[in-house]
A = this chain, B = another copy of it.
């Protein structure tokens, strides 16, 4: 039984409060400012009636994502990627993950020849930015799709499920749900789970930072992830209901 408390005082299976402010990016077809504790990510969906070259003439659509972090979203200022002239490996890894996660819940054939780009920009960072980006991007995507249905461009929604993500990890306090920055920096292992509202696994990224971990530990992390994403699915539904 762990006797070391989490830095935030949260229970082991307690996630941070979530809020979803819809319409923050006023020009976007769908947008949300998601806040998960101190992490804030602006997610904006842009709809374009074209597809990338490798999909032309195949009668299907595409979902892609880009990720960025404002230079001063973090404790110490980071260099601006536009000024450095390239996106870091971390940035590219995250935006590829977001894109895959969202494609896994969309029927691309039903989408038709359309590309939806999800821009996820971190305004304030306190751990779990890629998970917040996925959870928020799903909402921005859902709003943009709803707009296409209302406009008669799409007959029915190509969304097959909700998608949300949460990170769980092994810390001195034990296996915990929804790591913040302080926990993340010192965790023995950190795993991001991208799950669907129907109980499916979309992506698992588990990494031992310091020492390998066991299958039992991994199973406990997955149990926590299901708890955490259930709350995120509820928050997504409430946010969408508020604008229906």
Contacts and interface: CB of A to CB of B under 8 A. Distances in A.
Contact of A204 (B91, B93, B123, B218): B218
Interface in A38-81: 38, 42, 44, 46, 48, 66, 68, 70-77, 80-81
A205 interface: yes
Interface in A187-231: 191, 195-196, 198-208, 210-215, 218, 222
B202 A204 contact: no
Given A201-B206, A206-B204, A123 B42 contact: yes
B212 A100 contact: no
B196 A202 contact: no
Contacts of A87: 82-83, 89
Contacts of A119: 70-72, 77, 80
B218 A208 contact: no
Nearest to A71: B119
Given A72-B27, A204-B191, A86 B89 contact: no
- Most chain B C-beta atoms within 10 Å of own C-beta, residue among A77, A161, A200, A210: A77
B38 A211 contact: no
A244 to B, nearest CB: 23
A38 B25 CA distance: 11
B200 A25 contact: no
Interface residues of A, number: 69
B93 A93 contact: yes
Nearest to A82: B81
B208 A215 contact: no
B198 A202 contact: no
A124 interface: yes
A217 to B, nearest CB: 8
A51 to B, nearest CB: 15
Given A82-B82, A91-B82, A42 B70 contact: yes
B93 A89 contact: yes
Given A25-B124, A200-B208, 6 more contacts: A27-B74, A31-B72, A82-B82, A90-B96, A93-B96, A105-B212
12 contacts: A66-B71, A66-B83, A70-B121, A81-B82, A88-B92, A89-B95, A104-B210, A201-B206, A201-B208, A201-B212, A204-B205, A205-B206
